[in-house]
Amino acid sequence: MSITRKPEPVDAIVVGLGANGGTAAKVLSEAGLKTVGFDRGPWLRAHEHYSGDELKFVNRDYMWPDPKMFPRTIRYDENAEAERFPFSPTPQMVGGGTNHWAGWVPRPRESDFMMRSLHGDVDGASLADWPFRYEHLEPYLTKVEWAFGISGIAGADKYEPYRSKGYPSPPLRPTRYGKRFYDACNKMGINAFPIPHAMVTNNHNGREPFNQTSFWNQYGDPSGARSNILTTFIPDALATGNFEVRAESFVREVKLGKDGKATGVIYIDAEGNEVEQDAKVVVLALGAIESSRLMMLSKSSQFPDGLANGSGLLGKNATFHEYLFAVGLFDKDIDEPLNGWTGNYISGGSLEFYETDENRGHIGGCIISASQTCHPVNWVFPGRPSWGDALKDADRNYFNYAMKIGLILHDLPVESNRVDLDPTVKDAFGLPVARITHRPHSNDVAMGKWQVDKNMEILEAAGARKTVPVYLDKMTGNTCHQHGTARMGTDPAKSVLNEWGQAHEVENLFVVDGSGFPTATGVNPTLTMMANAWRCSDYIADVYSKGRKERLVIAN
């Protein structure tokens, strides 16, 4: 193919308009930079395209990436041949994952930024400290909470570190299973509280949150309730007059100039034409799997192993946060219904078990939450019989009499857990797809087991008459949380990006998604990612674009 067009150069390109690219687009365009944003997916209109259709949103890939267009492969063993599998299938459309996420947005903890200092060398793991600390992120966490719209109650989370401001919106009324969770936790002395939620329940920033349908996780929201990049930061960016969206435009390469700086990108537009767009700064936010893949696809004589990959760490140390849980069943003849399909996915959670307690036999810990068991076709009952009277009875007896308590596994980075290019499988554009190689660290398995068992205890305290645990055997990427593939750090030999998400080796290339996370954290990552994207974008606008340079020094 050859380049058919070359539009006017701009100040900044943002590739991927999800949680993080959307944040970057807002900050850069508001700072006056002429910015073009690309997304391989469509630019849908929430109020017009979204509704409570379980088949379309959960079973068919109206939002999930089409496995034929964008396949991925996985192998659980270095020597095995990777198989096609929709591993961590983060959505593709303007707004990215925020279009249909559940939206748990807890803050990270101070310990998350210093796993290496706290735990030293852990066998088989590659722990690293972050090149900044919670205190550096705190102002940005607050900015995101207010600009994006988060509901919660400050002070309810006993273990939360310092915060400079409360929440803009109060939490949703608890569900019935949420109430059971609160009661059980209070019995057990566990600090349960409404997990901060990427939704507003009041009229905030002109939004009208009328959605009370309980069609939430995996569904698009036609109202103003969900905090979705598509309906918040994209309109903010467009309002500046400095921003343009190019949807259904697949970026296939970041180009490198002779001076060692990125000159722009090559993309394939909706018609199938190859177009070249130049810019002074290139910001990547495709998600940690695709950002590292794009850098690997952007090879050159200067960087034969992938763009800005002198360290050889590109794609490595990938972490994915598997979602594990336990389901409790109740007795229809005795117990009150729990209506597990109601709510906006999460209803009460806790960080009681977050910090390391060596007595548990593992380091680190993670967030837990009572959450929706979802809708009739796909309701979450592992062990639901596949057919016959047994299926019918199970649906009749337990659909309204089940609850689940899940956790977000804080998996440790391992250098060999990685993303690279699959040697044979290609996507719809003929380019090699991302191949994931992964084997959980023993700490991951131990943490998962301990916490799922604890969740079963809580279910029992809540009155469950049977519990079904879901333990970790292998990663499926079921949370769509992706981190670590282009570590941030201060040493160019041990990291790909610096503390501003700036590639050590290509000064006008920034990566502002989870790729930079040196460790995974034990909370849902997107609030942390967006705060970091905002922080890095501020640096691009206020420092880098003005021809200056700054380093962040961590005081000990």
Ligand X SMILES: Cc1cc2nc3c(=O)[nH]c(=O)nc-3n(C[C@H](O)[C@H](O)[C@H](O)COP(=O)(O)OP(=O)(O)OC[C@H]3O[C@@H](n4cnc5c(N)ncnc54)[C@H](O)[C@@H]3O)c2cc1C
Of ligand X, another protein, none, which one sits near residue 302, judging by CB under 5 to 8 A according to partner kind?
none
Within residues 471-500, the interface with ligand X by CB under 6 A covers 480-481
Distance CA 70, CA 429 (A): 9
Q: Distance between CA 520 and CA 528 in Å, rounded? A: 11
CA distances from 142 to 148, 154, 159, 229, 444 (A): 10, 12, 17, 17, 31
Choose the one of ligand X, another protein, none that binds residue 366, judging by a C-beta under 5 to 8 angstroms depending on kind: none
The residue among 41 and 131 lying less far from ligand X, judged by its C-beta, is: 41
Residue 209, CA atoms < 13 Å, CB-side half-sphere: 23
Q: Does 44 bind ligand X (CB under 6 A)?
A: no
The sign of the torsion formed by the CA atoms of 480, 486, 487, 488 equals negative
Q: Is 318 in the site for ligand X (CB under 6 A)?
A: no
Whole-number Å distance between alpha carbons of 546 and 4: 33
> 251 near 279, Cβ under 8 Å?
no
Given ligand X, another protein, none, residue 290, with its beta carbon under 5 to 8 Å by kind, binds ligand X
Shortest distance, position 342 Cβ to another protein, whole Å:
5
Among another protein, ligand X, none, the one that 393 touches (CB under a kind-dependent 5 to 8 A) is another protein
3-state secondary structure at position 421: strand
Length of the chain in residues, anyone?
Answer: 556
Phi, psi of 376 (to 5 degrees): -55, -45
Select the binding partner of residue 98 from another protein, ligand X, none (C-beta < 5 to 8 A, by kind): ligand X
Give the C-alpha separation, 279 to 501, whole Å.
18
265 near 3, Cβ under 8 Å?
Answer: no
Tokens of 9: 């150069």
Does 61 interact with ligand X (rule: CB under 6 A)? no
Q: Please say which residue, 53 or 278, places its beta carbon nearer to another protein.
A: 53
Q: Which residues in 221-260 contact ligand X (CB under 6 A)?
A: 250-251
| Geometric angle at alpha carbon 254, from 14 and 65, rounded to 5° | 65
Q: Is 285 in the site for ligand X (CB under 6 A)?
A: yes
82 binds ligand X (CB under 6 A): no
CB of 212 to another protein, least distance (A): 4
Residue 194 within binding range of ligand X, rule CB under 6 A: no
Mapping DSSP to helix (H, G, I), strand (E, B) and coil, where does residue 269 land?
coil
Q: Min. distance of Cβ 91 from ligand X in angstroms?
A: 5
Tell which one of 29, 35, 73, 90 touches ligand X (CB under 6 A). 90
Sequence-ordered list of residues with C-beta below 8 angstroms from that of 230, at least 6 positions apart, any chain: 22, 43, 44, 46, 93, 94, 95, 98, 99
Q: Which does 80 bind (CB under 5 to 8 A by kind): another protein, ligand X, none?
A: none
According to DSSP, the β-strands at 192-193 and 83-84 are unpaired
| Mutual angle of helices 19-30 and 526-542, in 10-degree steps | 30
Q: Hey, which residues does 283 pair with through a beta bridge?
A: 14, 510
Task: Please report whether residue 96 would count as binding ligand X according to CB under 6 A.
Answer: yes
| Burial (0-12, 13-18, 19+ Cβ within 10 Å), 244 | middle
User: 370 in helix, strand or coil?
Assistant: strand
Cβ proximity to ligand X, 71 vs 398, nearer residue: 71
* 410: contact with ligand X by CB under 6 A: no
Q: Which listed residue (16, 108, 222, 349) binds ligand X by CB under 6 A? A: 16
Interface region with ligand X, contact rule CB under 6 A, candidates 91-99, 183-191, 330-338, 361-369: 91-99
Residue whose CB is less far from ligand X, 100 or 180: 100
Residue 104 interacting entry, from another protein, ligand X, none, C-beta within 5 to 8 Å by type: ligand X
Q: Is 102 in the site for ligand X (CB under 6 A)?
A: yes
Residue 524 interacts with ligand X (CB under 6 A)? yes
What is the C-alpha to C-alpha distance for residues 329 and 257, in angstroms, rounded to an integer? 61
Q: Which of another protein, ligand X, none interacts with 525 (beta carbon under 5 to 8 A by kind)?
A: ligand X
Judged by beta carbon distances under 5 to 8 A according to partner kind, the member of ligand X, another protein, none in contact with residue 517 is none
Q: At which residue do the structure tokens 């890095």 appear?
A: 536
Could you tell which of ligand X, another protein, none binds residue 555, using a CB distance below 5 to 8 A set by kind? none
Scan residues 22-41 and list those touching ligand X (CB under 6 A).
38-41
Least distance to another protein, CB of residue 541, Å: 29
Size of the site for ligand X (CB under 6 A): 41
Give the footprint of ligand X on this chain (CB under 6 A): 15-21, 38-41, 90-93, 96-98, 100-105, 217-218, 250-251, 285-287, 290, 294, 480-481, 513-514, 524-526, 529
